[in-house]
Amino acid sequence: MINKKIDTVSQALHGVANNMTLMLGGFGLCGIPENAIAELVKLGVKGLTCISNNAGVDDFGLGLLLQNRQVKKMISSYVGENDEFERQMLSGELDVELLPQGTLAERCRAAQAGFPAIYTPAGYGTEVAEGKETRDFDGKMYVLEHAFKADFSFVKAWKGDEAGNLIFKGTARNFNPNMCGAAKITVAEVEELLPVGALDPNQIHIPGIFVQRIFEGKTYEKRIEQRTVRQK
């Protein structure tokens, strides 16, 4: 059995360089690879293209990379909780590609499966489809969307084993599974890293073949994006 365990986050991110394209799992602040993002900030790599459902908040998640001016382009679906993102986008400092959420997910999954592209009805007749190939299938128009090409994919799981098998918990099972194996190198960080054989095979969501490196995260803040408290 191949052992994919990496001892430290710095070793797990070996090879990350300027101007790379990165996938980062998570939805809002749920299931984001907190340790990997913190290490990216520490490394100070610049000119990144980040593929992620959202851009975090101003002082957490991908917002930390934006604050540090490390991101040149964001490919996202929802970005409404980050004021710095808005400022950079409106000022022209940040290149932004907004996609329908399902299209974002399927372009990740196409890359994971080795498909070069997909056809989707989402966005036909709108700005999303401008300059793209369209085609009629059974009387309905579809837009051709290419699979993503990324250098690294950073995902976060609840549990994993040293062979790279992953189990996600709750809402963290969002974009993370689709991004596994969708880049040249997939790095998984987990809350608990176990020996091979410790996970119930019937509970595994992503098999280790989609993961090249795995490490156990040291701390997780798990911040809540929007907290609403009921009045007494």
Distance CA 88, CA 155 (A): 26
| Residue 201 falls inside a structural domain | yes
Q: Which helix (H) or strand (E) holds 185?
A: strand 183-194
Q: What stretch of H or E contains 190?
A: strand 183-194
> What is the reported pLDDT for 140?
97
CA-based nearest residue to 179, from 11, 19, 3, 33: 33
Task: Give the per-residue pLDDT at 206.
Answer: 97
The partner residues of 166 in beta bridges, in order of sequence, read: 160, 206
What 3-state DSSP class applies to 196? coil
Classify residue 130: in a domain, yes or no: no
Q: How far apart are CA 156 and CA 170, in angstroms?
A: 12
Residue 221 lies in a domain: no
Indicate if the pLDDT at residue 225 is higher than 80: no
pLDDT band at 224 (very low <50, low <70, confident <90, very high): confident
> What distance in Å separates the CA atoms of residue 128 and residue 30, rounded to the nearest whole number?
27
pLDDT digits (tens, 9 = 90+) for 37-82: 999 999 999 999 999 998 888 889 999 999 999 999 999 998 877 8
Question: 16: pLDDT confidence band, cut at 50, 70 and 90?
Answer: very high
**Distance (Å, rounded) from C-alpha 128 to C-alpha 60?**
29
Contact in structure between 63 and 83 (CB atoms under 8 Å):
no
pLDDT over 70 percentage in the chain = 100
Task: Examine residue 143 and state whether it is found in any structural domain, yes or no.
Answer: no
CATH assignment of the domain containing 83: 3.40.1080.10
Quick one: pLDDT at residue 219? 83
Identify the domain containing residue 18 by its residue range: 9-112+149-216
How much is the pLDDT for 80?
76
- Assigned domain for 198 exists: yes
Written in H, E and C, the secondary structure of 15-64 is CCCCCCEEEECCECCECCCHHHHHHHHHHCCCCEEEECCCCCECCECCHH
Cα separation, 41 vs 30, in Å, equals 19
Question: pLDDT tens-digit profile of 171-198?
Answer: 889 999 999 999 999 999 999 999 999 9
Whole-model pTM: value is: 0.92
Answer whether residue 1 is part of any domain. Answer: no
- Please state, rounded to an integer, the average pLDDT across all residues of the chain: 94
Number of domains in the chain: 1
Categorise residue 170: left if φ over 0, alpha if ψ from -120 to 50, beta otherwise. Answer: left
Percent of the chain with pLDDT over 90: 82
Residue 231 lies in a domain: no
Task: State the Rg of the chain over Cα.
Answer: 18
